[in-house]
Structures are given as C-alpha cells and as structure tokens.
Amino acid sequence: MHSTAVSLIELGAVCFGLGVLGRLAWRIGISPIPLYLIGGLAFGHGGLVPLGGIQEFTDIAGEIGVILLLLLLGLEYSAAELVTGLRRSWMAGVVDLVLNAAPGAVAALLLGWGPVGALVMAGVTYISSSGIVAKVLSDLGRLGNRETPVVLSVLVFEDLAMALYLPILTALLAGVSFWGGMTTVGIALVTITVVLVVALRFGRYVSAVVDSPDPEVFLLRVLGAALLVAGIASQLQVSAAVGAFLLGIAISGSTAENATRMLEPLRDLFAALFFVVFGLNTDPRQMPPVLGTAVALAVVTTVTKLATGWWAASRQGVRRLGRLRAGAALVARGEFSIVIAGLAVASGSVSPDLAPLATAYVLLMAVLGPVAARVVEPLATRAMALLPQRV
C-alpha cells in the first residue's frame, strides 16, 4: 500500500522537475515538449527512478491533458476562419497531407506494422505542432510577414484533417470491420458538418450555455462541458479528443477568447503531465534500435515540410526567402504527434516499437523545428552569396 504522503512527494517532485525543465527549454530557445518527454522517460519503466504511486492520477491527468489540448485547438480558430481557410488553402492542405503523411506510412509498412500502423505513423509525421509554430512565429517577429498567413492556413487545414482523422483512427484501433470503419467515417463527416453549421449560425447559443460573468463559474462550466462531451464522444466510439475539439469550434467569439485565457494554464499543466505519462510508458531501452529509422524519418519529413511551405508560399507570390521561411516554420512536430501515438499505444493494437519510434521522432522534430525556423534565413542568404562565385 502506497501512502498519500509518498504520492504527494512524487507528484510534487515531477511537477517541480518539469518546471525546471520548462525554464531550461525556453532559456535555450526550444519547445519544452522534448524535455518533458525525456523527463517521463527518466522516471518510467526501465528509467533512472521508477515511480509507482501516482500511476492512477497521472493516467487520468494525461487523458485530461489530451482533451484540453484539443479543446484549445478548437477554440483557437473560429468556424468562419476554418471555413474560409479551407476554401482558400485546400490545395496547399492536400499537398501537405500527401507529402508528409506518406513518409510515415511508408516507414510503417516497411517495418511490417500493417495498415493500422501505417495510418498511425502517417498521422505522426503529418501534423505540425501548431503550438510550437505559433510561438516561433511570434518570437521571431514574423507575424507581419507575407508568408505567415500561408503557414497559418496550412495549420488550419491540418486541424480540420485531425477532426476527420481521429475518429477513423479510433475506430480502426478498436478493430472494427471495413464497413464499421466506413460508418464511423460517415458519422464523423456528418458530425463535423453539423458542428460547423451550428457554430456558424448558432455559435452564440452554444457560447451562452457555458458563458458566465463569474470566472469561477465560467471555468467550471467550460471544463465540465469539455469533459462531458469528451466522455460521451468516447462512449459513442468517437474519440474523446474529437469531442473536445468540436466543442472548441462551436464555442465562439469573446466566450472563446475568455475560455482560452482561462484554460491555458490548466492545459499547460495537464499537457505536461500527458507528455510525462507518454514518456513513462515508453521504455528508454527500446529507443536505440529505432533511432536510425527516427533520424531517417526526421530528415525526409523536414524536406517534405520545406517543400510544402515552398509550394504553398510560391502560390501566393512570395519570394524565395519567404518560401523557405514558410517551409521551415512548418517543420516542428510536437503535441499532436504524441496524442496520435498515445491513442495507438493505449489501444494495444500496434507494434510495441511504435511508442519509442514516435518518441524519438518527436524529440528530434520538436528540437529541430524551432532551430530550422531560426537558421533557415541566415543559411539561405549565405548560400545565395556563395552561389554566384561558383558559377
């Protein structure tokens, strides 16, 4: 029997440790996500200091972390932005999808993980981390740049793609038949359409349900609504994360802004715990064998994101340097790749090597992304300066 005191000490140590890691990360100018993952690896099975007593709490905290990550992603964009974004940038979005999902899927098939494993890895390599990208763009003062709307609209498309992808993935991971899968896809499509229409036409009524002038009441209502919707969605075999995401889209206007402001600290806390839980459940001793694959995937998907950004920006008449900046900004993968891998690992229907591969891959990309965004411009200018001398 584990005493409460020990659990509290362990939890406190984990949170404090994460705080130290987070500060370190921002100091050296990278996202804290890789450091959280490393923290989890150090504490978990086969790690340096195995933790025992807080498993139950951290598991549910991790679940809440996923729900909050997706809820805030939904809150970030209004339904109108999603629809105009989709209309204007669907071609760039499709190019992004094809170029970046393919490497993951191919790698999984080559490793013999079957179609479900391929779908999971396609998601992991496809989705950029909108959190890291937004932070990097604003840190580097690029919000006023011409290529920035291009980058943002690619992110918008990715988020909509997630809303379709997650229910399909959940259904396939649960091992439903082909027709069962098609039904889930149909339900997902109908649900998303209904939510978008409701959000566009009746967004204020949805907002009114959760809105309150009292911050305490408001926080409880938003959080309660998110967990309820997520729970019901999960009961209906649609993923909990998708439920929260769609709720986020349906909440709009000033309510969405207030909710974002209020939930951000909670999201940061629970998401950090989610990354730790993912790290905890990954055995670091399994990582060296998959490291080669992870590095190869990192190289290939860096190039494919660069190509995506280059192509999308060139369609908007952005010059070469701007196209490179757009591509480099998209390189970072992070929280959502881990969310996808986490869903797959939890279901137990994929290869046990998937978690270490996804961890290694995200560790690389979350570090590489911000660095790439920073160095692409000086590197390109230097290369351009060198080029005429050789010719």
Partner 1 sequence: MAQENQESAPHGVASRQERVESARDTGGFVQNGVTWVSPQFHDPGCVAGRASRWFGWTGAGRAVIARAAMAWIGGYPRGVNVEVTPLPGIGTRQDFMTRSGRRVGVVTYRDGRFDLIISQREDPDACSASVPLTPEESATLANLLGAPQLVAQLRDEQRDVAGIATKQFPIVHGSPFDGRTLGDTAMRTRTGTSVVAVVRAGDVHPSPRPDFVFTGGDLLVVVGTSDGLRAAADLLAHG
Q: Which residues bind partner 1 (CB under 8 A)?
A: 76-77, 81-82, 84-85, 88, 130, 134, 138, 141-149, 152-153, 155-156, 257, 261, 318-319, 321-322, 325, 377
Choose between 195 and 326: whose C-beta lies nearer to partner 1.
326
- Compute the least distance from the CB of residue 47 to partner 1, in Å: 36
Residue 83 has, within 13 A of its CA and on its CB side, a CA count of 15
Can you spell out the DSSP letters for 187-227? HHHHHHHHHHHHHHHHHHHHHHHH--SSHHHHHHHHHHHHH
- Compute the least distance from the CB of residue 149 to partner 1, in Å: 5
Q: Quick one: 390 exposed, middle or buried, by C-beta within 10 A (0-12, 13-18, 19+)?
A: exposed
With a CB cutoff of 8 Å and minimum separation 6, the contacts of 188 are 163, 164, 167, 168, 238, 242
Choose between 31 and 234: whose C-beta lies nearer to partner 1.
31
Choose between 79 and 95: whose C-beta lies nearer to partner 1.
79
Choose between 32 and 248: whose C-beta lies nearer to partner 1.
248
Answer whether 325's CB lies under 8 Å from 142's CB: yes
Can you spell out the DSSP letters for 19-78? HHHHHHHHHTTS-SHHHHHHHHHHHSTTSSS---TTHHHHHHHHHHHHHHHHHHHHHHS-
- Compute the least distance from the CB of residue 387 to partner 1, in Å: 16
d(CA 279, CA 283): 8
Region of residue 112 (phi > 0: left; psi between -120 and 50: alpha; otherwise: beta): left
Which structure tokens are listed for 283? 């055995």
Choose between 233 and 324: whose C-beta lies nearer to partner 1.
324
- Compute the least distance from the CB of residue 77 to partner 1, in Å: 5
| Of residues 367, 384, 387, the one with CA closest to residue 302 | 367
Compute CA distances 353 → 36, 231, 348, whole Å: 20, 29, 11
Which sign, positive or negative, has the C-alpha torsion 11, 17, 18, 23?
Answer: positive
- Compute the least distance from the CB of residue 44 to partner 1, in Å: 33
Choose between 63 and 147: whose C-beta lies nearer to partner 1.
147
Q: Residue 68: how many CB atoms within 10 A of its CB?
A: 26
| Of residues 47, 53, 42, the one with CA closest to residue 4 | 53
- Compute the least distance from the CB of residue 132 to partner 1, in Å: 13
Choose between 82 and 287: whose C-beta lies nearer to partner 1.
82
- Compute the least distance from the CB of residue 326 to partner 1, in Å: 9
- Compute the least distance from the CB of residue 192 to partner 1, in Å: 17
Choose between 305 and 325: whose C-beta lies nearer to partner 1.
325
Choose between 108 and 313: whose C-beta lies nearer to partner 1.
313
- Compute the least distance from the CB of residue 87 to partner 1, in Å: 10
**Unique residue bearing structure tokens 């899927």:** 105
**Unique residue bearing structure tokens 């951290």:** 58
DSSP helix/strand/coil, 176:
coil
Choose between 150 and 171: whose C-beta lies nearer to partner 1.
150
- Compute the least distance from the CB of residue 226 to partner 1, in Å: 19
d(CA 163, CA 175): 20
Identify residue 343 by its one-letter amino acid code. L
Helix (H) or strand (E) holding 108: helix 79-110
Choose between 84 and 235: whose C-beta lies nearer to partner 1.
84
- Compute the least distance from the CB of residue 217 to partner 1, in Å: 22
